[in-house]
Structure 1
Amino acid sequence: MKSFKSPLSIYVIWHPSFKEGIKYAESIYNTYSGENDFVTHARYDIPVSYRTLSYGKDIFAPIPFSESDKNALIILVDEFMFNDEDWTIGLNKLLKSKPKNTRVFPISFSKYAFDLNKEFLSSTQFIKTKQQSPDFGNDFASNNKIIKYRLLESIAKFLFNVKENYNTKTDSDAPIKLFISHAKADGEKLAIDFRNYIYGNTKLKAFFDANDIADGHYFEQEIKKNIDHSAFIIFNTDEYANREWCRKEVIIAKRYRCPIIAVMDIKKGERRSFPYSGNFPTIIWDDNFEEVINLILSQIISDKYNELFLKSIVTMYKLEEKYSCIILPKAPELFNYIDIERFKEERKEVKPFIILYPDPPIGIEELNLLNDIDSEIKFITPLMLPTYTT
């Protein structure tokens, strides 16, 4: 059996005298690991480790870069770190030895943070907190809000970029596009406000149907091209499911396996809810721009990390030697039989079929429905793998 590699590991580094460092570290842990503290709905379990305590003669324990496909080093830079010679030397050693698969995300908690390491950090974009201003003081809630969004966007872009031999100095991550799907009849103002917020307050890009399509281009093909490189936000208003193009956009997004969330803004009700507009997180609209953006970024991370994680599982257990295996980054649904039947037709294999999706397993009521279509296909999660690998 091959050894397992996590698609991404996160390391939070701070000076032990920075007393609030643990609060920021715990917030990062809660955002990216386990149940994510139920702050994002999305599910993934990215390994998050702390580096603050001394380890023998070293300022902290070594980082096993080779155990993950990618590593994120989140460095909380405050005045204690800047004024400690041992830490400046130790960090210089760490930054000098980091491999190409590692990205550094420095966060400034001091006006001196940008001078910490001119050799390796001078050209690195810091996440700037308000704490670096002496007039602002230490406001954890405000700083943490800034850090949470900036890291979600940065980690999402870092995971999206899967190029081999990636050079962090010369290759920049492509910006994330958010496809804003809405009904003009009652959702246009909301969608415009959201698009304006994106361009006024974030580094994200927005795709806003006809306004972003070049003259003379075929509408559906242009939408498909952009959906294929985007995340998808549904503004589900009363009229949304009544509009043909809204329904088409949802189907196309699902066919391309885009990360999707729905923003619910139903006022009176729907004549008929769209049956394919489900199996993804939803959030109630309450002028909560930041929460919506954080949720879609979390869903991007969830879908991409789970996809890469499950591919590593397939490789580690050599599942394709015994099975025809399809990977899903989220819980299965009847819609997935489109891909299943296409996969069968292309492969023409006689090996048993398994569909591997993230934990937790779906309920027996959903499983029975899926197996009503094909009782031979097994829908499993990593927790259930021992039954299939012995």
Structure 2
Amino acid sequence: MKKFKSPLSIYVFWHPKFKEGKKYANTIYDTFSGDNEHATHAKYNIPVNYRTSKYNDDIFIGVPYSESKKNALVILVDQNMFDDPEWVIAINDLLKKKPASARIFPISFSDYAFDLNPEFLSPVQFIKTEQKSPNVGNDFIYNNRIIKYRLLESISKFIFNKKEDYDTEKDSDPPIKLFISHAKKDGLTLAKEFKSHIDSETKLKTFFDANDIADGHQFEKEIKTHINSSAFVIFNTDEYANREWCRKEVIIAKRYRCPIVAVLNLSKGEKRSFPYSGNFPTITWDNNFDEIINLILAQVISDKYNELYLNNIVDMYGLEKKYSCITLPKAPELFNYIDIENFKKENKNIKPFIVLYPDPPIGLEEINLLNDIDNNIKFITPLMLPTYIHEL
């Protein structure tokens, strides 16, 4: 069996005298690995590791870069870290060994944070906070909101990048693009407000409507191209499911396995809800731009991390040698039989068939419905895999 490598690991560094350091680290853990009280809806368990303690009088600050395919180094630079020569040396040694597959995300909590490491940190864009001294403790809520969004946005770009040969030292990660799907009859105003907020307050990009398609290009082809490279945001209003192109866009997004979220803004209700508009996170509209954006970014991370994680599981167990196997970045649904049938058409030698999807397992009532189509297909999660391997 091959050794498993996490698609991404996060390391949070802070000086032990930074009073709120652990508090910030805990919120980063909650965002990317903990349950987070369903605040992001999206499910992933990215390893988040703390680096702050001392071990045998030496700062224990190493990172086992080779154990993960990508590593994110979040450094909380406060005055204590800047004033401690041991930490200055340790951070320098850490960054000297940083491979191209690792990314630094420094956060400033001191006016001198940018001078901690002129060679490796100074050229990097910091996440800036309002707290300039460890003695100022009233800015945590504001700072935490900024840090949460900026890390979600930065790490979603870092992990979503599909280019295997991408030079992470020389090139910037391409921005996350949001495809804003809406019904013009009753969703245009809200969609415009959302786009305006994205354009003015974030580093994200948007695809809004036909105005974003270059003249002379095929409309449907361009729509498919933009959806395929975007996170898909539905503004689900009363008229949304009545519009042919809204329904088409949802189906296209599902076929391309795009990260999808729906913003619910129903006034009177729908004549008929669209049956394929489900199995993704939803959030109710309440002028909550920040929550919506964080949810979208969390879903981008969830889908991509789960895709990479499950592919690594398949590779580690060598599943494709014994089984016909497809992976899904989210819970299975009847729509996924399209993937299954396409797989069967492309592969003549079909072995015992498993569909691997992220934990937790779905309920028995859903499994029974899926198996009504084909009782020979096993829908399993990584936790269920060892048992099913022996049974198959």
Give your verdict on TM over 0.5: yes
Contact 1:265 / 1:285 at 8 angstroms: preserved in 2?
Answer: yes
Please list, as runs of the form range in 1=range in 2, the aligned pairs for 1:169-180 lying within 5 A after superposition. 169-180=169-180
Name the amino acid aligned to 2:318.
Answer: K
- 2:287 corresponds to: 287
One-letter amino acid matched to 1:213? I
Aligned to 2:252: 252
Task: Provide Cα deviations, 1:275-295, integer angstroms capped at 9, x if missing partner.
Answer: 000000000000000000000
Map Cα deviations across residues 4-38 of structure 1 (whole Å, 9 max, x no partner). 10000000000000010000000000001142332
- Does structure 1 conserve the Cα–Cα contact (< 8 Å) formed by 2:61 and 2:90? no
Match of residue 329 from structure 1: 329
Cα drift, residue 55 of structure 1: 2.0
After the TM superposition, which residues 15-94 of structure 1 pair with which residues of structure 2 at under 5 Å, given as runs? 15-94=15-94
String of CA shifts for 1:318-371, please: whole Å, max 9, x gaps: 111110100000000000111110110001222111000001111111111111
2:316 pairs with 1:303:
no
Aligned residues of 1:159 and 1:305 also touching (Cα < 8 A): yes
What's the counterpart of residue 384 of structure 1? 384
| Deviation readout 1:135-189 (Å, 9 max, x if unpaired) | 9864100000000000000010000124335433311101110000000000000
Task: Give 1:375 shift.
Answer: 0.8
SS of 1:63's equivalent?
A: coil
Runs (4+) of structure 1 exceeding 6 A deviation are 133-137
**Do the aligned partners of 1:236 and 1:265 also contact (CA within 8 Å) in 2?**
yes
**1:109 partner amino acid:** F
* Mapped partners of 2:373, 2:113: distance in 1: 59
1:234-287: CA deviation from partner (whole Å, max 9, x where unpaired): 000000000000000000000000000000000000000000000000000000
Secondary structure of 1:16's counterpart equals coil
C-alpha contact (below 8 Å) 2:61/2:94 kept by paired residues: no
Paired with 1:388 and 1:368, the residues of 2 have a C-alpha distance of: 17
Partner amino acid for 2:212? D
**Could you tell me how far apart the structure 2 residues matched to 1:38 and 1:177 are?**
24
Distance 2:295 2:109 in 1: 26
Q: Distance in 1 between matches of 2:252 and 2:111?
A: 48
- CA displacement 1:188-214 (0-9 Å, x = unmatched): 000000000000000000000112111
Percent identity between matched residues is 72
Checking the alignment, whether the CA contact within 8 Å between 1:36 and 1:42 is kept in structure 2 is no
| Distance 1:23-1:101 versus aligned 2 partners, 3 A rule | same
Matched to 1:309, the amino acid is Y
Q: 1:134 to 1:26 in 2, by over 3 A?
A: closer
Q: Kindly indicate whether the alpha-carbon contact (under 8 Å) linking 1:6 and 1:69 is maintained by their aligned counterparts in 2.
A: yes
CA distance in 1, matches of 2:173, 2:10: 18
Give how far 1:133 is off.
8.2
The residue correspondences of 1:217-366 to structure 2 (distance < 5 A) are 217-366=217-366
Task: Give the alignment's TM-score, normalised by structure 2.
Answer: 0.97
In structure 2, distance between residues paired with 1:123 and 1:214: 36
SS of the equivalent of 1:278 reads: coil
Q: For the structure 1 residues 136 and 18, does the alpha-carbon distance in structure 2 shift closer, same or farther, using more than 3 Å as the test? A: closer
What are structure 2's unaligned runs of at least 5 residues?
none
Instruction: Measure, in 2, the Cα distance between the counterparts of 1:256 and 1:33.
Output: 26
Q: Quick check: 132-141 or 267-276, which moved more?
A: 132-141
1:49 is paired with a residue whose SS is strand
Give the unaligned 5+ runs of structure 1.
Answer: none
Q: Report SS of the residue matched to 2:197.
A: helix
Taking structure 1 as the reference length, the TM-score comes to: 0.98
2:193 aligned residue = 193
Separation in 1 of the partners of 2:35 and 2:334?
Answer: 26
Separation in structure 2 between the aligned mates of residue 167 and residue 57 of structure 1, nearest angstrom: 37
